[in-house]
Each structure stands twice: as structure tokens, then as C-alpha cells.
Amino acid sequence: MTDQQLLWLLQLSDSNFPSGAFSHSFGFETYMYHEQIRDAKTFGDALVVYIQTQLTYTDGLACRIAYEQLEADRMEGLKRLNETLFALSLAKETREGTRMMGERLWKLCRDIYGVDELDEIVQTTRSIHPTIVFAAVGRKIEASKRTTVLTYLFTAVQTMVQNAVRGIPLGQTDGQKLLVIVQPYLIHAASIIETLDEEELGAAAVGLEIAQMQHERLPVRLFMS
């Protein structure tokens, strides 16, 4: 990897990158409200489950598939993947939050990195999944497929940790410790993703999906989803 590629990926994965992810807990706030997640340990346990299920078998695998579709210039396959990802998002808030993040990320990355190969999908469907945008950036800057996927996994987890720091709340030191603790799980997830078939896309933690559905009915909320 060149120094320029490294800097591009660091910029994209920075928690200050304005993708809009800071506004979403994607169901974790439901657990916080019911005090099932209340400290670093309980959040860390939930985060590992999230990595091993939804992050690996949905978003992470989708990032790999999107990279491969872009590499082979298969736009129809990319469109089907985009449609499938939104269909797999059962909770309305999560689906809409993902749509807003994807649109924001696409606009930013189109301007910053020159990612314009997704224009047709956005114009046709009016939505783009953020994992596809991330894969497009990785492909555009010629980062390897594994590096792109691993960077996406870390970015997703870093966002969840930063939101937990605000939402539980946790101390900044606890948040950084958690990012170190989960690194072996992220590396293992990236290895698992390399071996998965496309037919395995969509496995998720049922409890988290239910929490995502329940979130819109919470009486007090810090996050949009």
C-alpha cells in the first residue's frame, strides 16, 4: 500500500468524516434504554455479537461482493446487491438511516475521490447503500479487497463505539480500550468474509433487528435510529 492510499483510507475511516453515522445507533440505543447495555463490559459483549453476525454476514460480506462486482464491471449485479441490502433492513428507521448515510457518503466521495460509477444506481433507485460506496472508494484508490473490507469493518465499529461513548455514556479511555479489544474479532471477521458465498448474505442477530424496530417507540431518544 502506498502512503497516498493509506492517507485516503485514514481520512475515510476517521470518526469525524461527515457521513451522518454519528446520528444513528442502529438499535443499540434500545438496549441502552432498557439498561441491558449499561457499561463498557455489557457494550463490549454486544459489540462482539454484532461483529460476528450482522457486520460479518451483511455489511462486511456486501462490501466484499460490491468490490468484486465493481472489479468485474457488473453494474446489474451491483444494482441487485443494493436492492437486496435495503430489502434485508426490516426496521424502517434503520432502512431510512442507512439510505441517508449512503446518499451523504456518495455525495462526499463523489466530490472527494471522484467516485462517479455509482451515479446510475443513485439516479435509478434514489438510494445507495454505504457499503457499496465504501467498496467503490476502495476500488477507486486501488486498495486491496481485504484492506477495503477490513477498513470498512473498523469504521463501522468505531462509529458504534463513539456513539456508545455519548449514549451510555462511556469514558473516552474505555472507548479506545474497546477498539483495541475488538481488533482480533475484526481481523477474524475479514478472514471469514473472504470464504463466504453470496448466498450467505443477510444473516443477522434477531435480537438486534427487534431492537431496531422498537427504537422508534422509545419515549426518549438521543439517536435517529
Q: Taking the domains of the chain in order of start, what are their residue ranges?
A: 3-10+25-214
Cα 69-80-142 angle, rounded to 5 deg:
20
pLDDT of residue 72: 93
- Please give the residue that has the higher pLDDT: either 89 or 85: 85
Which CATH code, of 3.30.420.40, 1.10.4190.10, 3.40.50.261, 3.90.1150.10, is assigned to 3-10+25-214?
Answer: 1.10.4190.10
pLDDT of residue 211: 86
Give the model's confidence band at 17: pLDDT under 50 very low, under 70 low, under 90 confident, else very high: confident
- Please give the residue that has the higher pLDDT: either 48 or 125: 48
pLDDT of residue 52: 95
Least confident of 13-22, 23-32, 165-174: 13-22
The mean pLDDT of 96-111, rounded to a whole number, is 90
- Please give the residue that has the higher pLDDT: either 89 or 176: 176
Q: What is the rounded average pLDDT for all residues in the chain? A: 90
Q: What is the pTM of this model?
A: 0.94
pLDDT of residue 221: 78
Highest-scoring range by mean pLDDT, 2-16, 139-153, 196-210: 139-153
Check pLDDT > 80 for residue 164.
yes
What is the per-residue pLDDT across 21-63, written as a single tens digit (0 to 9) for each?
777 788 888 988 899 999 999 999 999 999 999 999 999 999 9
pLDDT of residue 147: 96
What is the per-residue pLDDT across 174-185, written as a single tens digit (0 to 9) for each?
999 999 999 999
